[in-house]
Amino acid sequence: MLSTLAFLLAHPPWASILDQREPESPPADGPGAFLYREGSIHDFRLELSEEAIHALGRDEPDVHALLTYEGATWDVGLKLKGSSTYQSLDGKPSLKIDLEEWVPDQAILGVRRLTLNSMVFDPTMLREHAAYRLYDASGVPAPRHGWARVWINGELYGLYGVVETLDEQWLRRRFPGDGEGNLYDSHYTYADLTGGGVASFELKEGKPVEPYADLRELVRALDSDDILTVLNTRFDRDAVLGMWAVELVIPTWDGYSRNTNNYLLYHATVSDRWYFIPWGQDTAFRGGGSLYAGVRGRMVAACLNHTGCKAALDARIGEVLATWEEIDLVGYAGTAWSYIATDCEEDPRRTLGCDPEDLLGALEERPGQAAGDL
């Protein structure tokens, strides 16, 4: 296989012989919906040449790979991802797959990019799944989540989380009519909305005339106006308070509120409103403690020190707790575990034991703890 693969990848014009049939018609609810259907675990098989394997590394460009799914094969761009979770192919690396890297407009049922998280720090392999479910149900723009088994050069690498890539496709789906704005990633830990913090963001999507000008203007507004005025005039207040409320309730210790990390900012330029977008939720539902313990994000800290803003945030937390019960988050996670349990236990590259109780116990106990703080 690899000798043929090496020839194909060394001669891009031959990519036309690859079987690029799509397995079925796209669903009515938009590109990618098939990836996140409850109860589904997909099978992705990747083949890499020796040259591609040697070229892989942290922050290295995409390499050629062949991706096979449901009997169809694509020539794709592949790179390793992660910071604290980064691992090489000798371990269990998280992966980014770009179907358009070498072939314009190539897609799997409309999906152009795949983000596959290794979940090496999550013994339940459920945390992100449950967290994004709660964000979405609480009215917070968030990615969808599913699972896949991944093989690389015929070797099973185990169960992966499939997280909806936050790109132009996601923006257009989540912000219909206003999805052409500017998406900024908190590229470094401790990226916050301060004068010096702007340099810690990376423009991921959008084509502003002057990149980062809108972000600097937002910082100036925070410097001159009170937090509630900024929330009311610059942000989608309900969505942003919902984002913070979920972070505080879960709790996650590595998000914006407590660590100014694992989030993106989106400026919807038609409505001229900003949004916080959650990302990297593998630390969700770990530990308990006070709702407001350890807050360091500039905007959340300012909100807690403003009577009107704190009252609004408290009310939003109450709504999140009610949503937690309405969607039966405990039952939701338990059902999800029932269909990933075998794959978790048989994952040959996991470094932690499979323990759903590590999450299910927190899901049962945390609402009461959080409500007590209100």
pLDDT tens digits along 99-147: 999 999 999 988 999 999 999 999 999 999 999 999 999 999 999 999 9
pLDDT at 335: 97
**Domain edge (last residue) among 325, 348, 367:** 325
pLDDT at 84: 75
In a domain, 314, yes or no: yes
Q: Cα dihedral sign for 257, 261, 262, 263?
A: positive
Per-residue pLDDT at 5 exceeds 60: no
pLDDT at 289: 84
Q: What are phi and psi of 8, to 5 degrees?
A: -60, -45
- What is the rounded average pLDDT for all residues in the chain? 91
Its pTM stands at: 0.92
Q: What are phi and psi of 337, to 5 degrees?
A: -60, -35
Same domain? For 90 and 163 the reply is yes
pLDDT tens string 205-248: 999 999 999 999 999 999 999 999 999 999 999 999 999 999 99
In a domain, 366, yes or no: no
**Domain edge (last residue) among 168, 198, 229:** 168
Same domain? For 75 and 220 the reply is no
Q: What angle do CA 293, 297, 303 make, to 5 degrees?
A: 80
Same domain? For 132 and 258 the reply is no
Same domain? For 271 and 144 the reply is no
* Residue 337 CB contacts under 8 Å (≥ 6 apart), including other chains: 124, 126, 356, 360
* Rounded percentage of the chain residues whose pLDDT exceeds 90: 84
Q: For residue 80, what are the β-bridge partners?
A: 95
- Can you give the residue range of the structural domain that contains 99? 2-168
In a domain, 352, yes or no: no
Contact 136, 170 (CB under 8 A): no
Rounded to the nearest angstrom, the gap between the alpha carbon of residue 24 and the centroid of all alpha carbons in its chain is 26
Per-residue pLDDT at 199 exceeds 80: yes
In a domain, 361, yes or no: no
Same domain? For 93 and 130 the reply is yes
From 282, 289, 276, select the one nearest 249 (Cα to Cα). Answer: 289
Measured between alpha carbons, how far is 343 from 319 in angstroms, rounded to an integer? 35
Q: For residue 278, what are the β-bridge partners?
A: 263
In a domain, 336, yes or no: no
Per-residue pLDDT at 41 exceeds 70: yes
The DSSP string of 141-174 is: ----EEEEEEEETTEEEEEEEEE---SHHHHHHH
Same domain? For 103 and 13 the reply is yes
Per-residue pLDDT at 14 exceeds 90: no
Same domain? For 163 and 197 the reply is no
Contact 313, 228 (CB under 8 A): no
The confidence band for 323, taking pLDDT boundaries of 50, 70 and 90, is: very high
Measured between alpha carbons, how far is 173 from 156 in angstroms, rounded to an integer? 33
pLDDT: which is higher, 2 or 158: 158
In a domain, 202, yes or no: yes
Tell me the CA distances in angstroms from 9 to 63, 282, 320, one per residue in order.
Answer: 9, 35, 49
Q: Around Cβ 119, how many Cβ atoms within 10 Å?
A: 26
Same domain? For 67 and 206 the reply is no
Rounded to the nearest angstrom, the gap between the alpha carbon of residue 171 and the centroid of all alpha carbons in its chain is 13
**Domain edge (last residue) among 308, 325, 342:** 325
H helix intervals, the chain:
2-10, 50-55, 127-137, 168-174, 213-224, 227-234, 237-249, 256-259, 298-304, 307-326, 329-345, 357-373
In a domain, 35, yes or no: yes
Phi/psi region, residue 84 (left: phi>0; alpha: psi -120 to 50; beta: rest), is: alpha
Contact 73, 21 (CB under 8 A): no
In a domain, 92, yes or no: yes
